[in-house]
A and B are shown apart, each in its own frame.
Chain A
Amino acid sequence: MLPKKDLEAVHRQDIKALLETWGLLADFEAGKIKCRFCGDVISEHNFGAIFSENKQIFFACSKLDCLAKLPKQK
């Protein structure tokens, strides 16, 4: 059997709870969170991914074009 590698994921139903844990829900609801790649405001409807680089949190919108630019996971 092949070894498996994790694809870390968050379910759509848990997004708001996660952002609340990180204290980012207010910013999210105020439209202050933007896609790292295209600059679009991220809402519940176009949420693509969250990633961290150099101790900072970034967001990507749901356009696969932007998801394709996500850093490669190790």
Chain B
Amino acid sequence: MTLLSFIATFGLTAGFFVWLIIYLFVLHQEKGGKLVGWLAGFIGWASKKAERVATANNIQSKVDSFIISINTEVEGLLPFGLKVKWISPDLSKDAFVENDRVVVMLNYHSNQDENLARAAMLYMNKAVIPEARPHIHQKLGQAIDLMMTKKALFSFIEARSSMGHFVQTVLRPQTEKDTELKDMCGVIDTIDERGLFTRVLLKELMELGIRRAGITETGDTVFETNEFIKLLKKIAEKERGVDVDPTFIKNNIKIAIIMVARPENVDNPDMYLRAIEERMKKSVQTFYLFARGVRNIEFAKKVTISVAEKFKELAKGHEEEFPTKLQDGTVKNSYCAIFHNRKVV
């Protein structure tokens, strides 16, 4: 009795399945073997596919969530997302060498730490301030990549062990053998704790890169950006009561950081308005108003409103509250408002 005639006689009943098992594995074992082989092949293909999807999704979703959070600090800082594109093992050698390409190996999705560290590092290398790279010191570029990768991996709360993996296998070995890089990473760490890394340094470098696009670097801008980071370090390390001139006016970067603190029994923003007016006359392009602590933040918001009302040539670009770490390790809420001077060229 053939398979089809059996189905026609008995239908797809339990008896049919018993008969099918006997037919395939007792009477015609070669057909049973073929079926098992085909099923195993299908399961293997499906599980390979599923493995790739799991590996890629795990990386893409985490990197995307980091991009969203960073872009709330500085719009457009990370201008594109990440898509893992698997290359086929059948790709020809000629096709591969035709253009300069980089293909990273990703491990099974269970090796999450390794995959995330690799992908985050390669992503930062491509995505963070690409236009500004010719105009900054190479060590500063390296330090930015390393610290942005660390920041991203730290933000992957459910996979934070990936940061430990990164620190142990990249950050520490690289900084231990390169003092200059270590110092630069240290500076970035300090300015990041005060909220100045992405909001001020990377924002200014991103804008500088766009303005200087297509212009051959002679070394002047590299010098300027190095001076700029020195100022940010001074501001970040400033002790209470110590004065640091927070204005930086050079060829490309023209900013003023106004640290707003409410003086005792005074609720008048005039001194800050005067400070801004003076700096506007000196062609400051961007004003960053910072404040720390509940009382100062409340006052800084009033200053922000007054600035917007008084100076029509200033356009308010961004305003947010965020946590910062002080020198003694305590965490305090901070505030930042950014104004762009429309009249400066």
Contacts and interface: CB of A to CB of B under 8 A. Distances in A.
B97 A7 contact: no
Interface in A5-62: 5-15, 17-18, 20-23, 47-57, 62
Given A7-B123, A21-B89, A13 B102 contact: no
Contacts of A64: 117-118, 121, 166, 169-170
A58 to B, nearest CB: 10
B106 interface: yes
B119 interface: yes
Nearest to B67: A2
B108 to A, nearest CB: 6
A53 B102 CA distance: 9
Interface residues of B, number: 54
B95 to A, nearest CB: 10
A9 B81 contact: no
B83 A52 contact: no
B184 to A, nearest CB: 15
Interface residues of A, number: 42
B81 A51 contact: no
Given A6-B83, A7-B82, A51-B101, A12 B106 contact: yes
A10 B102 contact: no
A28 B194 CA distance: 49
Given A21-B89, A47-B105, A68-B125, A4 B97 contact: no
Contacts of B137: none
Given A9-B85, A49-B104, A21 B91 contact: yes
Interface in B173-206: 173-174
B93 A71 contact: no
B42 interface: no
A73 B313 CA distance: 41
Contacts of A71: 100, 102
B332 interface: no
A4 B174 contact: no
B170 A52 contact: no
Contact of B97 (A12, A21, A57, A74): A57
B6 interface: no
Interface of B: 48, 51-52, 55-56, 59, 64, 67, 79-93, 96-108, 114, 117-119, 121-123, 125-127, 142, 145-146, 166, 169-170, 173-174
12 contacts: A2-B79, A8-B101, A9-B85, A10-B104, A11-B55, A11-B105, A17-B90, A18-B89, A49-B104, A52-B96, A54-B100, A70-B122
Interface of A: 2-15, 17-18, 20-23, 47-57, 62-65, 67-68, 70-74
The 5 closest A-B pairs by CB, nearest first: A17-B89, A64-B170, A6-B85, A4-B83, A14-B89
